[in-house]
Structure 1
């Protein structure tokens, strides 16, 4: 039996849509075989037998509004969310991120998830993860305009020339669209390289390059 992963994407007011929609689309459209992947393009609903199952979680479970005004209804609140195998922390404008950083309930939730299969961040989501202390002693990256802010967190080796950086069970990615790169890398690490490249081809995404990756 091929392993399947339950993925939780943390959502909060004013997050950037592509930060969570990009990884969600990549992981949702990955499949164990070329046949299964092609079938997805014709069906209205996704099959149950696939590598990743995606759910969203917010602090309260109430609808949240993205940076551009789109409203999202989360699947779970922090109180009723299951234990995910993978947690993805998207980014957003700094005022929104700073509000999350000050939210002890969210920070504690992330800390309690530290031993799951993978914790991933997109763009300025790494600033949220830095607040938990889980990036201490690790290599990480973020959006180029937030590198100096991540540098202020002690004990983090910040890199600026890689889109995706993995250190232990933590993966950080550089900018808004790099969440797509991160998710494809996740597919490669947890399923296989052939599936990652096949998924990138389905999405017609041509920027999945090994030169953009770094493992700490």
Structure 2
């Protein structure tokens, strides 16, 4: 069983967490994955968290009650700014990551991985407005203009909706590309925005 944990905290960006949740939950429950997987949410104390834009989510577990974590996902959002100064949180991330097969982050969640020392010398990406600042203080190679980056067992994605792309790719690694395509079809994720954007 691949056990996927999504870390929640006050100020988490909603889609950073809920987008990957939708992918993993659909893969685990709606389809028939070749390799079983499960997904749950957790926070430090298990209490409800207020997201960056006001959504309130009650985590499934606290750190103490959480089951085995095989894959850790750290979303981004304004709440990552205090997290990178919270030594107890960074220590939990380090200890948890040591037992994971995959360590992942969406958006500014990459800052938490970097501050925890898990991105040293690795290629990562993050939210576009944070790329340059991270290049100034982190010991990682921070890439711009990509949806997600894999370096070893570390996978990071750009902001918000990019976490869905990363999650689908990870489902492909866990259960095969064909099954990941079934999941993509199941959630009807075929982006065709009404307005084009040129960088």
TM-score normalized with structure 2 length:
0.89
Corresponding residue of 2:62:
77
CA drift of 1:149 comes to 2.2
Contact in 1 for aligned 2:28/2:38 (Cα 8 Å)? no
TM-aligned CA deviation for residue 31 of structure 1 = 5.4
Counterparts of residues 146-165 of structure 1 (less than 5 Å): 146-165=130-149
Rounded to whole Å, the distance in 1 between the matches of 2:138 and 2:46 is 33
Is 1:184–2:168 an aligned residue pair?
Answer: yes
Q: Which residue of 87, 90, 94 maps to 2:75?
A: 90
Q: How far does the alpha carbon of each residue in 1:183-211 deviate from its partner, in whole angstroms, 9 at most, with x for none?
A: 0010111110001111111112125xxxx
Instruction: Report the count of equivalent residues.
Output: 190
Separation (CA, whole Å) in 2 of partners of 1:21 and 1:51: 20
Offset, 1:83:
2.5
CA apart distance, 1:100:
1.0
- Return 5+ residue gaps in structure 2 as ranges: 192-199
TM normalised by structure 1 equals 0.82
Shift, 1:162, TM fit: 1.2
Following TM superposition, by how much is the alpha carbon of 1:49 offset from its aligned partner in structure 2, in angstroms?
A: 9.3
For 1:122, the equivalent position in structure 2 comes to 106
Please, which moves more after superposition, 109-118 or 172-181? 109-118
* Native 8 Å contact 2:48 2:56 kept in 1: yes
Does residue 104 (structure 1) correspond to residue 87 (structure 2)? The answer is yes
Instruction: Name the counterpart of 1:5.
Output: 2
Q: Following TM superposition, by how much is the alpha carbon of 1:88 offset from its aligned partner in structure 2, in angstroms?
A: 0.4
Match among 103, 128, 141 for residue 144 of structure 1: 128
Point out 4+ residue stretches in structure 1 off by more than 4 angstroms: 47-50
Q: Is the CA contact 1:30–1:50 (under 8 Å) kept in the aligned structure 2?
A: no
Superposed CA RMSD in Å reads: 2.0
Partner-residue secondary structure (3-state), 1:113: helix
